């Protein structure tokens, strides 16, 4: 195992797939503060990306854009929002899955075309971006960012003389991978979802306006009503005449990323008809059916492990209680501790609640394990707090393969589940027993009427993937 394992701060987010991005769009047929609506929509999607944020607003003549680094509260001032006037807007919160961390890579991307300005925001990753980018560069195009979203933006711009709807259609038929996009022109809002529906996109209604968003929780944040999910292989075009829908791909099957339900999405969202919180509680109930352990208390790794822990406690009859206290004032980054402080295993973000675990047999539940780097610290901290036994249960299958569709994923050599047996992982983590939810059990917690992308569990992906260059 990585020798650095004992030198990290106890922070469960170090042992997770990193969030992708979040997109939001609004179109109104009457005077409405679309910039503020987009701001609060993105605020609700902040968990999907904390690196940068951007908002573009159309007023019928031009598209104005503001972007900034950091959280949305850091990226925008009240003056910024007040300066963005119009009737339609799109927004984006970013976590870098491709490209460097710099303002040039922040979205939306704005292009000047023969049709006028076009802004685009994209959640997902293209697996053939490098090939298309090389062809465009050979044709003389200069790229200004290092993100694959610019490839789509340039394909749309190149075809703009055909009309925006045709340009978007031609562009998305040339790319492969995952994408949920919102596109803004001077007078239209367009939403696109990839043929497999890997990344989520839903539509909503508010008074005389329409909303497009990565998650339904953003609709709740602005008082909008969820209408439906955008289907895989669907384009929706919203303008002064209302909303139109096109199917650009006939061979579609919804294969939503399973990790949206396991970890990424906010628990108060509904994605492709499935309530995220309910699916996580059911995962905990199923986890009990597959891993029945005699213990005194069930605790969770906050916050993402809580619904599954509640489900396990409900199914088992073992009481659920708080096992860790979370410091909610620790930001995304903080001063790196010295070696001396690290060796003292200071729990900066989580600390065991000793009164609830001392002299007790504890079941600790997390939603997933990716690298395994923090799980050992969590178990060790419970033992130091006086737990007699610590049983670690995971409310998802073993992560064995990387993701290529919009998640910052380590190489396979960094995935603990790809390189160690269950018993070896148990020894590394230091728990008394270890159990994962089975693939069959996971499917029981989902909607049986659709498919899911589970490539990180079994190596079978909806789209052909690039070959890993490093193992």
Q: Is 274 helix (H, G, I), strand (E, B) or coil?
A: strand
Are the C-beta atoms of 395 and 413 separated by less than 8 Å?
Answer: no
Residue with tokens 């060790």: 380
456 is in an annotated binding site: yes
How far apart CA 359 and CA 374 sit, in angstroms, is 23
Is residue 11 marked as binding? no
Q: Please spell the DSSP secondary structure of 331-342, one letter per residue.
A: -S--PPPPHHHH
Task: Please provide the DSSP assignment of 296-308 as one string.
Answer: SEEEE-TTTTHHH
Residue for token digits 């009990």? Answer: 288
Burial degree of 349 (CB within 10 A; 0-12, 13-18, 19+): buried
The number of helices, as runs of H, and strands, as runs of E, in the chain is 17, 23
Q: Does the annotation count 431 as an active-site position?
A: no
> What DSSP designation does 413 have?
G
C-alpha–C-alpha distance, residues 168 and 183, integer Å: 9
| Residue 257 labelled as part of a binding site | yes
How many residues in total does the chain contain? Answer: 471
Torsion of CA 185, 191, 193, 195, to 10 degrees: -80
The single residue listed with the structure tokens 């619904």 is 307
CA dist., res. 429 & res. 410, Å (int): 19
The answer to the question of whether 217 is labelled as a binding residue is no
Q: Angle, to 10 degrees, between the axis of helix 164-174 and the axis of helix 149-158?
A: 130
Residue 120 phi, psi dihedral angles, 5° rounding = -140, 140
Tokens 């569709």, residue located = 405
CA 372, 376, 324, 290: dihedral to nearest 10 degrees?
70
User: Of residues 21, 254, 431, 445, which has the active-site annotation?
Assistant: 21
Residue 275 counted as an annotated binding residue: no
Helix residue spans in 328-386 (DSSP H): 339-343, 354-357, 375-384
| 3-class DSSP state of 140 | coil
Q: At what angle do helices 276-290 and 306-316 cross, to 10 degrees?
A: 50
453 is in an annotated binding site: yes
Residues that are catalytic: 21
List, as residue ranges, the binding site for [4Fe-4S] cluster: 257, 403, 453, 456
List, as residue ranges, the binding site: 257, 304, 366-367, 403, 453, 456
List, as residue ranges, the binding site for Mg(2+): 304, 366-367
């Amino acid at each position: 195992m990585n020798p650095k394992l004992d030198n990290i701060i106890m922070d469960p987010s170090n042992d997770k797939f990193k969030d992708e991005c979040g997109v939001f769009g609004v179109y109104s047929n009457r005077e409405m503060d679309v910039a503020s609506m987009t701001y609060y929509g993105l605020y609700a999607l902040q968990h999907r990306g904390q690196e940068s944020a951007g908002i573009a607003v159309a007023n019928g003549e031009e598209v104005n854009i503001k972007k900034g680094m950091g959280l949305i509260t850091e990226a925008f001032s009240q003056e910024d929002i007040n300066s963005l006037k119009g009737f339609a807007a799109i927004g984006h919160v970013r976590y870098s899955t491709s490209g460097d961390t710099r303002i040039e890579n922040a979205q939306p991307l704005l292009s000047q075309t023969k049709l006028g300005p076009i802004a685009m925001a994209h959640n997902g990753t293209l697996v053939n971006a490098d090939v298309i980018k090389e062809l465009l560069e050979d044709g003389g195009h200069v790229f200004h960012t290092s993100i694959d979203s610019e490839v789509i933006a340039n394909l749309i711009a190149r075809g703009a003389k055909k009309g925006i709807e045709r340009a978007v259609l031609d562009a998305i038929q040339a790319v492969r991978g995952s994408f949920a996009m919102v596109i803004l022109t001077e007078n239209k809002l367009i939403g696109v979802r990839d043929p497999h529906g890997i990344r989520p996109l839903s539509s909503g209604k508010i008074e005389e306006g329409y909303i497009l968003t990565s998650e339904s929780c953003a609709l709740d944040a602005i008082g909008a009503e969820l209408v439906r999910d955008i289907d895989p292989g669907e384009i929706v075009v919203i303008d002064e005449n209302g909303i139109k829908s096109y199917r650009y791909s006939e061979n579609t099957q919804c294969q939503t990323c399973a990790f949206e339900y396991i970890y990424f999405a906010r628990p108060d969202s509904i994605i492709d008809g499935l309530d995220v919180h309910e699916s996580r509680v059911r995962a905990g109930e199923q986890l009990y059916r597959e891993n029945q352990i005699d213990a005194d208390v069930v605790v969770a790794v906050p916050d993402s492990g809580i619904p599954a822990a509640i489900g396990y406690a409900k199914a088992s009859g073992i009481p659920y209680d708080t096992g860790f206290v979370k410091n909610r004032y620790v930001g995304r980054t903080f001063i790196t501790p010295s070696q001396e402080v690290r060796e003292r295993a200071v729990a900066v973000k989580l600390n065991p609640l000793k009164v609830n675990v001392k002299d007790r047999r504890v079941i600790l539940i997390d939603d997933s394990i990716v690298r395994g780097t923090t799980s050992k610290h969590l178990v060790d901290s419970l033992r130091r707090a006086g737990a007699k036994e610590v049983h670690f249960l995971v409310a998802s299958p073993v992560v064995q393969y990387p993701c290529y569709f919009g998640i910052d994923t380590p190489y396979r050599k960094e995935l603990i589940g790809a390189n160690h047996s269950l018993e070896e992982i148990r020894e590394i983590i230091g728990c008394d027993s270890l159990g994962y939810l089975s693939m069959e059990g996971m499917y029981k917690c989902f909607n049986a009427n659709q498919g899911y992308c589970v490539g990180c569990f079994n190596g079978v992906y909806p789209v052909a993937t690039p070959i890993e260059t490093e193992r």
